[in-house]
Every structure is written in structure tokens, then in C-alpha cells.
Amino acid sequence: MVKIKSVKTKLYEWTGPTVPPQPNFCTNASDPLPEMGGSGRDNMGSFRFHQWLVCEVEADDGSIGIGNAALCPPLIKETIDRYLAPLVIGHDPFDCAYLWEKMYRITHAWGRRGVGMTAISAVDIAIWDLMGKLAGKPVFKLLGGRTKDRIPCYYSKLYANDLDAMQREAQEWLDKGFTMFKSRFGYGPKDGTRGVVENLKR
């Protein structure tokens, strides 16, 4: 029986020049705080990834599964190295549900969202990738196999800027065959009923 031999994390950092994404009118989780005053709405303008974490789960036969995380990579690395890796090393990767529960329960005091869950996800993805390689099958086969021949996709952009521009953008992609769309709301809870009305216009 194959066992997990090691869990290694690698932090990749980009230090070169970057072009920030176009700022967009977007709700911010900090908007309700009085000291923010609503001026932090353009948070998408500073949203970028300069770090990335890769998690490698290696079996004792040399097979390696790979997972990754983009949220707070240095903290994710520390969480995996210090808390999660010791929990899965020495176990059968095909006991993935048991291993997930071990990781979930050991982090119950601080890991129900954010860093804790992201770290668990990186290890879990790597374990599933490892299982697929050991079984010689794509992971979707391990998850029950194909259930449909086609998967509908939706268009995901439509930031809440100029309403006419949003309508033109939506029409362009509707003409290309998309029938489902994801649109960002520009107004949040602090804007009350007026914000709800403005969001509905979009």
C-alpha cells in the first residue's frame, strides 16, 4: 500500500514590474467601517498576485501530487509546514476523506475560513492529484465520472462601471453565444435601499 512520504511547499515570488488591473467600481468588505468613509471602493485596482504557493505531496513510490494557493502564500506555507503536513505523512492518500477531516478538526479553533481553509485546500488538491496519478485516471473519474456531455459556461466580467458600456459588453458576448452572465455589484450594504436600486439597474 502506497503511503504519503513527504509534503513540501514552495513559495514563488514575482519581483518584476506589473501592470495593475483596471480599477473598477466594486464593493469592498471594509466599506461599512466608518474610518474607510467609502473611499476604498476601487480595491480592484490594486488586486494582483505577486506570490504563489505550490504544495507537493509525494508518495513513497516517487509519485507527486501538486496543489496550489494564492491567498496569503507565506501564511499558507507556514500553516502547511507546521500543522498540516505532519497530519498526512505516513497515511494512505486514498483515505482522503479521513485526511481532510484530520486537517479540518485540528484547525477548528482558527481555520474555518481564510488561511486555514486555503491551506487545507492546497494539501487536499495535491492529494487528489496524487490519487489520480497513482490510479492512472483523471481526477474527475475518481469523483464519479462524467455526468453530462456538455458543460454550460457563463461570461464573468461586467464590472459595475458605466451602465451603457456594461450593456454593450453584455450584448457583445450574448451575440457570441453566452446566455449566462456574472455581474459585479458596485454598491454594498452601506448604501442601503438606494444602493439596491442602483444594483438592480445593472
Task: Using DSSP, state whether 156 is helix, strand or coil.
Answer: strand
Residues 21 and 65 in one domain: yes
CA–CA dist 194, 48 (Å, integer) = 31
Higher per-residue confidence, 128 vs 36: 128
* 116-141: b (≥16 Cβ within 10 Å) or e: bbbbbbbbbbbbbbbbbbeeeeeeee
Residue 181 lies in a domain: yes
Residue 45 lies in a domain: yes
Q: Which residues does residue 57 pair with via DSSP β-bridges, in sequence order?
A: 7, 65
- Residue 178 DSSP symbol: -
Report the share of the chain in percent with pLDDT over 70.
84
Residues 77 and 35 in one domain: yes
Residues 129 and 186 in one domain: no
Structural domain span for residue 42? 4-142
Tell me which of 112, 142, 172 is where a domain ends. Answer: 142
Residues 72 and 42 in one domain: yes
Tell me which of 118, 142, 166 is where a domain ends. Answer: 142
Q: Lowest mean pLDDT of 68-82, 118-132, 144-158, 178-192, name the range.
A: 178-192
- Which CATH number goes with the domain that contains 52? 3.30.390.10
Residue 148 lies in a domain: no
Residue 150 lies in a domain: no
Residues 132 and 38 in one domain: yes
Q: Which residues does residue 69 pair with via DSSP β-bridges, in sequence order?
A: 53
Residues 25 and 69 in one domain: yes
Q: Give the per-residue pLDDT at 20.
A: 64
Average pLDDT over residues 55-71: 97
Residues 126 and 194 in one domain: no
Would the pLDDT of 93 be above 60?
Answer: yes
Would the pLDDT of 40 be above 50?
Answer: no
Residues 165 and 131 in one domain: no
Would the pLDDT of 18 be above 60?
Answer: yes
Residues 91 and 51 in one domain: yes
Residues 159 and 88 in one domain: no
Total domains in the fold of the chain: 2
Would the pLDDT of 45 be above 50?
Answer: no
Would the pLDDT of 202 be above 80?
Answer: no
Q: Which H or E element spans position 165?
A: helix 163-175
The per-residue pLDDT of the chain, averaged, comes to 87
Residue 147 lies in a domain: no
Q: Give the per-residue pLDDT at 42.
A: 47
